[in-house]
A and B are shown apart, each in its own frame.
Chain A
Amino acid sequence: MHLHYDGELTIEAPQEKVWAFIQDPDQVGHCLPDLQELTVKDDRHFDAVVRIGVGPVRGRFKMEVELQPEEAPRRGGLRLRGSGMGSGLQLTARIELDPAGEGATRFRWEADADVSGPLATVGGRLLDNQARKITEQLFATIRAKLEDQAGSAPTGTGGAGGGA
C-alpha cells in the first residue's frame, strides 16, 4: 500500500531554530506520538519504538530513522524504516523551510510511504486515516514545542493523543 501525504504549517519561531530542532534526533524523536523508547545513535540517526494501533492490528513498532540535511537551514529529507506486528514500512520525507514574516517559519513537507503486511492487508481501510492522524500529531507537537521554547513558556508534554 502506497501512501502520500503533504502539508504546510507556520511555526511562530525563527527559521534557524526550527531547522536546529528538526535536525536534532533527540528533540524530533521525542515528538513521535506514543513513543515508548528512543535511542539516539548519532547526530543523524535514531531508533524509536512506538505503539501503533490500526483497527485490529496493534502492537509495538520499531523505527530506524535517518535525518538527511541537504541545505541548511532550508531543505532536508528523512528516511524511515519501520517493522513490527509482522508488517513493514518504508518512508521518505522531504521538508522545506522558508521565512514567513517576523520570527515565523513556513514549514512545507511531503512524505511517501510503502506499507507491507497485516498493517496494509488487515488495517488497510483504516490505515490512511490513522497515518494521517499520527502525522498531524507529530507536526502539532513539533510546533507546540518550538513555540513554547520561543515564548519561553513552560514546556508542554508533547505527546499529543493517547493510545490510538
Chain B
Amino acid sequence: MAVAERVLGQPVKRKEDPRFIQGAGRYLDDIVLPRMLYMAIVRSPYAHARVKAIPKEAALSVPGVVAVITGEDLEKAGLAWMPTLAGDKQMVLAVGKVLFQGQEVAAVVAETREAAFDGAHALAQAVEYEPLPVVVDPLKALEPDAPILREDREQKTNHIWHWEVGDRDRTERAFAEAEVVVRQEVYYPRVHPAPLEPCGCIADYNKATERLTFYVTSQAPHAHRTLLALVSGLPEHKIRVISPDVGGGFGNKVPVYPGYVCAVVASVQLGRPVKWVETRTENLQSTHFARDFHMTCEIAADRDGRVKALRVKTIADHGAFDAAANPSKFPAGLFSIVTGSYDFPTAFVEVDAVYTNKAPGGVAYRCSFRVTEASYLIERTMDVLADELGMDPVELRLKNFIPPEKFPYPSPLGWTYDSGNYAETLKKAMDIIGYWDLRKEQEEKRKRGELMGIGVSTFTEIVGAGPAHTFDIAGIKMFDSCEIRVHPTGKVLVRTGVRHQGQGHETTFAQIVADELGIPVDDVLVEEGDTDTAPYGLGTYASRSTPTAGAATAMAARRVRDKARKIAAHLLEASEEDVVWENGRFHVAGAPGRSVTFQEVAFAAYTNPPEGLEPGLEAVYYYNPPNLTFPNGAYICVVDIDKGTGQVKVRRFVAVDDCGTVINPLVVEGQVHGGLTEGFGIAFMQEIVYDENGNNLSSDFSTYLLPTAMETPKWETDRTVTPSPHHPIGAKGVGESPNVGSPAAFVNAVVDALSHLGVRHIDMPITPWKIWKILREHGIE
C-alpha cells in the first residue's frame, strides 16, 4: 500500500476562492431581509463643538423616514455611552458635545437606503453647533492651558494613562556607562486599515420570539455577542451573531461601533430588521485608525557594536476616546516586543496616552497589538546605530541577534521567545538578493552621483494571544476553540471560534484535520462566523487564528482520533493498545494488512458502535496556548531614487519569513504578498492627516491612497522553518509579519540611499515631495 502523502504543507488551492472569484461571496450588504429598513448616520462636521439643537423634524419631514434617534433618546435607555475595549467609554450618539469630526450625532431610519441618506442629509443641515477650540496635536493636548476635551471624566486632563515596563535603574546605569548612545525620534503616522468592504450590520429583532439576529462585518462574532448582551441588556442566549463573508478586516472589524448599537435600538423599537452600511468616507473618518505613536528611541552600545540597553518613550495619540483594542493588561498592546531580535541585557519602555479631537481607536492594523510600531522603531534605530558606528547594518544585526542556543529566550521586557534562527534567515535573504554585490554596486553608483539604497529589516513578532493567565479582551480569556463533527460517511464538519476575512481558514484548517484524520481535504468543510453553531472563541486578529484555533483544530482532531481508535479496535477485534495509527489507517500492531480506514470507523460509529461506547464521533477542544508564538523574518529592499522627481522605485524586495511549520505554502505566500503591499502603502503613500481645525483631510481614496497593481513592486518570498515547540503542529502564524516587518525595510532602504548626505531618518509616508525637498536641501538637483 502506498504511503499516503501528508496534506499538511501542500499548496492546496483555496477552497473559498471559487465563490470569491465568481462574485458569489455573500457579504453583509448582499443580505436583504423582508420588511427591512435602512439607517444612515448624521455626523459632526466639527472636531470639537457643543451640540445646541438637533431638530428631528428636518429628517422626519423627508418622505420615507420612519424614525430619528438622538443621544437624548439613547440616554433614556442608558445607551448613550458604551464601554470600549480599553476600559474607557465612548459616546454612541453625541450627548452635549462632539469630540471629533465624523462623530455620530443622530441615526435616521427609513424605508429605503436613499430616503435614509436624504433624511440624514436634511438633518445634518439643521443641527446647530457651537464650535469649541480644537486640539489635534497630542503634545499640545498635554500643555497646562490646553482645553479639557473629556469633560465627562473626573480627571480634568487630556492625559489618559502612563504605562511602563522594564528595569529603569539598570537601564539608566547602562546608558550612563555606555561608549556610544544614539537617539532617534520616530513618528509612526496615523494610518487606517481601510478594508475594501466598509463596516455594517443588520439588526433583526423578532418581537414574537424576543430573539435578536445580528448580521455584522465582524472579526470576532462571539466577543461581539457578549459585548452586545452586556451593553444592550438583551439576554445573551437570545442573541445570534452571524458574520457572513468579510471583505477584509485588518483590525478594523474588531471593535463595536456606534452604528451597531443604533441599528439594534432601532430594530428593537420598530420590530423590523434595520440595515446600516457605512460609506467609504465614514469608514475613514470614524472607524478605528491604527498607530499614531510619537516615539523616541535610544540605544546604548559598545564601540564594537554590542548593544547594551534600550530606552523608549512614546506619546500615543488615542483620539477622542481610548478605544484601542488591546488585552486588558496591556494598554500599549505588545509594544514591549520592542527589543526585537536583539539580545539587549536591559531595557525600559514608557508610553503615555493622550486624548485629542480625532477619531478614536488604536486598533492593531494587521498587527498583533502595537507590534508594528515596536518592530519599526527598533529596526529603524538599529540602522541609526549602524550609521553612528560606521558598521554595515547586517553586521550590526548579526552581532546582536539572540543566538539559536538561547531559546527559549527570556527578553528583558518579560517575554519568552519560543524559537528562532535569525542569522540563518538573514543569511538566506542576503544570498537570494546578492547583498554584497549590491553594496558594491551602490558604491559605484554613489561615485557617479546616483542614489541607490539597500534596506534591511530583521523583525521578531509576538502573536497568538494568548495564554489565559495573561491575556483577555474585556475580561474574556483569549483561548480559542474548535468543534469537529464526523458524519457517518466519513465527511467532516469543522467549526471554530475565529472568523476568517481572507486568511484561508476554509483550506488551511481543513488541511490540519485531513492530516490528523487521514482523509482527503475535500472531505472537510470548515464553517465560521455563526455564534449559534460555532464554539465560543475570541476571533481572528493579531495573527492568532493558527496559533489558537488552529491548535484547537489539531487537538480536537486528535480527540476524534482517540475515540476512532477505540472503534477501530472493536472492528479489528484487537485491544485498543494494539491498534496503531499509521499512514492514515488504523492497523493491528505488527499486522499492517489488518487495517481499517477512518471512513470505515466513522460509519461504524453510527452503525456498529462497540458495547459501552457512546455512539457518534465528534469532539470539541478549547485551546489555551501555553505561550505566544514568535514569527520572524528577514526582509531586504533595494531602491533607486530619481533625483529629478524624488520618486522612489523599489527595484527588489526579498522577504524570508520564519512562521514555523507551514500548513499551506500557497496561503502563506498570499498572506505575505498582501501584507507587503499594505506595508508598501504605509511606507510610501498613506497617512490620515488632520488640519488645525480637526478636519480629516484623508477621508476618501483620492486622498488616502491604496497601492494598486500599478504601484506595487514585485515580491520575492522564501522561508526558513523553526517550528514553535509548544504549538501542536509547530505553526506560528504569518498573516501580519509582512505588514509588521516591511515598513522598516522600505524606510531603511531610502535612508540608506541618502545616508552619505547625512540623512539618518525620514518619517513615513515617504512621498516624492518629501524626498525632493531633502535633495534640494542638500544641494542635489
Contact = CB atoms under 8 A, between A and B. Distances in A.
B693 A116 contact: yes
Query: For B125, B285, B692, which residue has the most chain A Cβ atoms within 10 angstroms?
Result: B125
A90 B129 CA distance: 12
B219 interface: no
Interface in B32-54: 45-47, 49
A1 interface: yes
A85 B125 CA distance: 6
A26 B747 CA distance: 60
A84 interface: yes
A73 interface: no
A120 B124 contact: no
A116 B46 contact: yes
10 contacts: A1-B693, A86-B45, A86-B125, A114-B131, A116-B101, A116-B695, A120-B691, A120-B697, A124-B691, A124-B695
B699 interface: yes
Contacts of B694: 116
Interface string B148-159: 000000000000
Contacts of A84: 125
Given A1-B692, A116-B695, 19 more contacts: A1-B691, A1-B693, A2-B691, A2-B692, A83-B128, A87-B45, A88-B45, A114-B131, A114-B693, A116-B101, A117-B45, A117-B101, A118-B45, A120-B691, A120-B693, A121-B285, A121-B696, A121-B699, A124-B697
Interface residues of B, number: 22
Contact of B700 (A2, A83, A120, A122): A122
A105 B219 CA distance: 68
B45 to A, nearest CB: 3
Contacts of A87: 45
A67 B613 CA distance: 92
A115 B693 contact: yes
Nearest to B43: A86
A117 B695 CA distance: 7
Given A121-B696, A122-B700, A116 B125 contact: no
Interface string B85-107: 00000000000000001000000
B272 interface: no
Nearest to A1: B691
A88 B693 CA distance: 11
Contacts of B46: 88, 116-117
Contacts of A88: 45-46, 49, 129, 131
A118 B696 CA distance: 9
Interface in A1-43: 1-2
B121 interface: yes
Query: For A85, A117, A121, which residue has the most chain B Cβ atoms within 10 angstroms?
Result: A121
A90 B737 CA distance: 46
Nearest to A59: B125
Judged by DSSP, the binding face of B is loop
B124 A115 contact: no
A118 B281 CA distance: 10
A86 B692 CA distance: 19
A156 B101 CA distance: 42
Contacts of A83: 125, 128-129
B131 A115 contact: no
A114 to B, nearest CB: 5
Contacts of A116: 45-47, 101, 131, 693-695
Interface of A: 1-2, 83-88, 90, 114-118, 120-122, 124
Nearest to B101: A116
A86 B285 CA distance: 14
Contacts of B697: 120-121, 124
Contacts of B45: 86-88, 116-118
Query: For A90, A117, A118, A122, which residue has the most chain B Cβ atoms within 10 angstroms?
Result: A117
Interface in B646-699: 691-697, 699
Contacts of B49: 88
B693 A86 contact: no
Nearest to A117: B45
A8 B699 CA distance: 37
A121 B131 CA distance: 17
Contacts of B131: 88, 90, 114, 116
A115 B693 CA distance: 7
A70 B600 CA distance: 98
A87 B45 CA distance: 6
B368 to A, nearest CB: 32
A1 B695 contact: yes
B320 to A, nearest CB: 15
Nearest to A119: B45
B620 to A, nearest CB: 49
Contacts of A124: 691, 695, 697
Contact of B124 (A1, A2, A86, A114): A86
A87 B695 CA distance: 10
A121 B124 contact: no
A2 B699 CA distance: 18
A115 B134 CA distance: 12
B125 A115 contact: no
A118 B285 CA distance: 11
A62 to B, nearest CB: 9
B140 to A, nearest CB: 15
A52 B695 CA distance: 19
Given A116-B45, A116-B101, A86 B699 contact: no
Interface in B112-136: 121, 124-125, 128-129, 131
Contacts of B699: 121-122
Given A86-B45, A88-B129, A121 B121 contact: no
A12 B124 CA distance: 44
Contacts of A2: 691-693
Nearest to B47: A116
Contacts of B129: 83, 88
Given A121-B697, A124-B697, A86 B121 contact: yes
A50 to B, nearest CB: 14
A115 B129 CA distance: 13
A120 B694 CA distance: 10
A87 B281 CA distance: 15
A-B pairs with lowest CB-CB distance, top 4: A117-B45, A120-B695, A86-B124, A116-B45
Contacts of B124: 86
Query: For B131, B693, B694, B699, which residue has the most chain A Cβ atoms within 10 angstroms?
Result: B693
A29 to B, nearest CB: 22
Query: For B45, B129, B281, B697, which residue has the most chain A Cβ atoms within 10 angstroms?
Result: B45
Contacts of B700: 122
A117 B697 CA distance: 10
Contacts of A114: 131, 693
B102 to A, nearest CB: 9
A88 B48 CA distance: 12
A88 B101 CA distance: 12
A76 B281 CA distance: 41
A117 to B, nearest CB: 3
Query: For B124, B128, B285, B700, which residue has the most chain A Cβ atoms within 10 angstroms?
Result: B124
Contacts of B47: 116
A144 B108 CA distance: 47
A124 B46 CA distance: 15
A121 B284 CA distance: 12
A124 B691 CA distance: 10
Nearest to A87: B45
A120 B697 CA distance: 8
Interface in B209-267: none
Nearest to A124: B697
Query: For B124, B695, B696, which residue has the most chain A Cβ atoms within 10 angstroms?
Result: B695
B118 to A, nearest CB: 13
A88 B700 CA distance: 20
A122 B45 CA distance: 12
Contacts of B285: 121
A85 B699 CA distance: 17
A26 B700 CA distance: 41
Contacts of B281: 121
